[in-house]
A and B are shown apart, each in its own frame.
Chain A
Amino acid sequence: MKKFRIGATDIALLVIGILFFVGMLLWFDPCDHVKDDGSFMNCHWADVILTGLAAVVSVISLAHFFIPDERMKAGLSAALIPVSIFACIIPGNLISLCMMSEMRCRAVMTPAAIVCAILVIIASAADIAVQLRRRSK
């Protein structure tokens, strides 16, 4: 049976994943995003998708934390990279946001999501290197 071993990248991925998800739920959400006619603004849908992606990232990070096999860990980390790239390009590119750059969706939600996604990409890349090296030993 594989020995359960916690490394720095396991902790980093879990912390960033949870921070991304909790942040999207509590701190990074855009303004009250309802138009005068009662329909939702684009930033609401961008928020919903980003929260969903953050949930996926945190679930994968959690699984990554508890799975001892190096190859599976590397595979999960590799899966986080395209998810994070997708999170980077959603706000403002795939879904257009509000007109003013000082609105919450552009001043807070977008940069926060991009920063979290970049951190996940860096931690995932580092983790893949760590797991593959462990495997080769």
Chain B
Amino acid sequence: MKFARYPSVKNLRRKHARTAALVILTAFLAFSIFGGSVIVASLQNGLESYKSRLGADIVAVPNEARSKGTLDDILLQGIPGYFYMDSSKLDKIRTIEGVEIASPQFYLATSSAGCCSTSVQIIGFDPETDFSIQPWIRENYSGSIGDLDLIVGSNISIPVDRRLTFYNTECRVVAQLDQTGTGLDSAIYANMNTIKQMMESSQALGFNYFSDVDADRAISSVMIKVKDGYSVEDVTGDINIHVRRVEATQAKAMVSSISGGLSSVSAMIGGLIAVVWILAFVILMIAFTMIANERTKEFAILRVIGASQGMLSGLIRTESVIISVGGAVIGTALTCLMVFPFSSLIRSQLELPYLLPDALLICLIAVGSITASVLAGLLTSVITGRRISKSETGLVLREDA
């Protein structure tokens, strides 16, 4: 038996405008549930990734960097920035009780990068002491990072010859890192010698980023690991008291400020999904009730020629399932076309860590969204079906006579 011969399919095809309207409504419902859920999951995934990538217990930067929010811009949004302090601050930090490891980092913003009209953030680290960048470099690259070697974030496309030139310093790209969903994806990593060469070249080209700091002794931030048994809060306080013009911040505090923003965005999206679901449920309910009222005579005739009440309810349920499944699949497919290709744009607009979940979780969310949409349609059809089964056939036909 051909699918098109089923009465439900025939009914839907005969009233194609009505069917199309209901399919569009269900598609919209699936679109909002799937799209919203994927965005919320990506934000949560991004926050987890940011937490794990930060690595340090405390981050110390010059005062002006924290007040301008420059560090957050670099780490979260990938906006290139630079700020410097004298490396004597690093020596002072190392003398503070409770500091286990203190590793310097150096931020350099390029003037322009190859074909791009934008600058790129270069982060220099000391391979001898670094504990925050190298662990995740090792996930993709096991070799040593030599002079003029670069490791690039996932947002940077690697040229065919793997060569990148910044401030007339030609470097070789040795590896690309996995996506983190943060501003670190737009950064390039190099050892301190490479950075020093770029600094010298930049100064020779007339760029002066260092103002009152001696370029040879400049560092941008210090990543600090606290010894076991010491309170991170106390060590942070000690650094802020004893090292002048440096502001130390607990990494936990940096994460919690983001998670606050993330919670409000997630709550907003969650609320929106709930409102859309209820709205779609109510509209579907009204639509199915109107359709059922319009078709009372049809159902009465079907009853007269032998159709049971169960068959009539089944007819409505089947129509509803076909509409809901069709709409939900279309809505989910449209979401895939909107959310996945435009993930870079969404991330930059949200200004929060945003990392798409793995394929399995996305599939589960898709199945859940389709189920929720079909459930909305099915529930309305069950309620409508019950109402129809209660109506008296003879009465309906007599009314129309």
Contact B344 A101 (CB under 8 A): yes
Contact A107 B344 (CB under 8 A): yes
Contact A42 B345 (CB under 8 A): no
Q: Can you list 24 A-B pairs, Cβ within 8 angstroms, ordered by A? A: A31-B117, A32-B117, A35-B115, A35-B117, A36-B112, A96-B157, A98-B116, A98-B117, A98-B157, A99-B113, A99-B114, A99-B157, A100-B116, A100-B155, A100-B156, A101-B157, A101-B344, A102-B78, A102-B155, A102-B344, A102-B347, A107-B344, A111-B342, A112-B342
* List of A residues within 8 angstroms of B348 by Cβ: 102, 107
Looking at the assembled complex, report how far the CB atom of B345 sits from the nearest CB atom of chain A, in whole angstroms. 4
Interface size for B (C-beta < 8 A) is 24
**Could you tell me the distance between the alpha carbons of A107 and B98 in the complex, rounded to whole angstroms?**
45
CB-nearest residue of chain A to B344: A107
**Could you tell me the distance between the alpha carbons of A8 and B113 in the complex, rounded to whole angstroms?**
47
**Could you tell me the distance between the alpha carbons of A7 and B377 in the complex, rounded to whole angstroms?**
27
A-B contacts counted at CB < 8 A amount to 69
CB-nearest residue of chain B to A110: B341
**Could you tell me the distance between the alpha carbons of A102 and B117 in the complex, rounded to whole angstroms?**
12
Q: Judge whether A108 is part of the interface by a CB distance below 8 angstroms.
A: yes
Q: Judge whether A114 is part of the interface by a CB distance below 8 angstroms.
A: yes
**Could you tell me the distance between the alpha carbons of A97 and B347 in the complex, rounded to whole angstroms?**
19
Assuming A42-B115, A100-B118, is B337 touching A118 (CB within 8 A)? yes
Q: Judge whether A132 is part of the interface by a CB distance below 8 angstroms.
A: no
CB-nearest residue of chain B to A8: B20
**Could you tell me the distance between the alpha carbons of A102 and B156 in the complex, rounded to whole angstroms?**
9
Q: Enumerate B111-134 residues with CB–CB distance to A below 8 Å.
A: 112-118, 120
CB-nearest residue of chain B to A114: B341
Q: Judge whether B186 is part of the interface by a CB distance below 8 angstroms.
A: yes
* List of B residues within 8 angstroms of A112 by Cβ: 342
Q: Judge whether B338 is part of the interface by a CB distance below 8 angstroms.
A: yes
* List of A residues within 8 angstroms of B116 by Cβ: 98-100, 103
**Could you tell me the distance between the alpha carbons of A103 and B337 in the complex, rounded to whole angstroms?**
19
CB-nearest residue of chain B to A31: B117
Looking at the assembled complex, report how far the CB atom of B130 sits from the nearest CB atom of chain A, in whole angstroms. 24
Q: Judge whether A119 is part of the interface by a CB distance below 8 angstroms.
A: yes
CB-nearest residue of chain A to B113: A99
Q: Enumerate A11-67 residues with CB–CB distance to B below 8 Å.
A: 31-36, 41-43
**Could you tell me the distance between the alpha carbons of A81 and B181 in the complex, rounded to whole angstroms?**
34
Assuming A101-B157, A102-B186, A108-B345, is B338 touching A115 (CB within 8 A)? yes
Contact B344 A98 (CB under 8 A): no
* List of A residues within 8 angstroms of B113 by Cβ: 99-100
Looking at the assembled complex, report how far the CB atom of B62 sits from the nearest CB atom of chain A, in whole angstroms. 27
Q: Which of A8, A36, A107, A119 contacts B345 (CB 8 A)?
A: A107
Assuming A99-B113, A102-B186, is B344 touching A115 (CB within 8 A)? no
**Could you tell me the distance between the alpha carbons of A105 and B186 in the complex, rounded to whole angstroms?**
15
Q: Judge whether A73 is part of the interface by a CB distance below 8 angstroms.
A: no
Looking at the assembled complex, report how far the CB atom of B128 sits from the nearest CB atom of chain A, in whole angstroms. 30
Contact A100 B120 (CB under 8 A): yes
* List of B residues within 8 angstroms of A33 by Cβ: 117
Per CB-CB distance, the 4 closest pairs between chain A and chain B, nearest first, are A111-B341, A101-B155, A107-B344, A107-B345
Looking at the assembled complex, report how far the CB atom of B217 sits from the nearest CB atom of chain A, in whole angstroms. 31
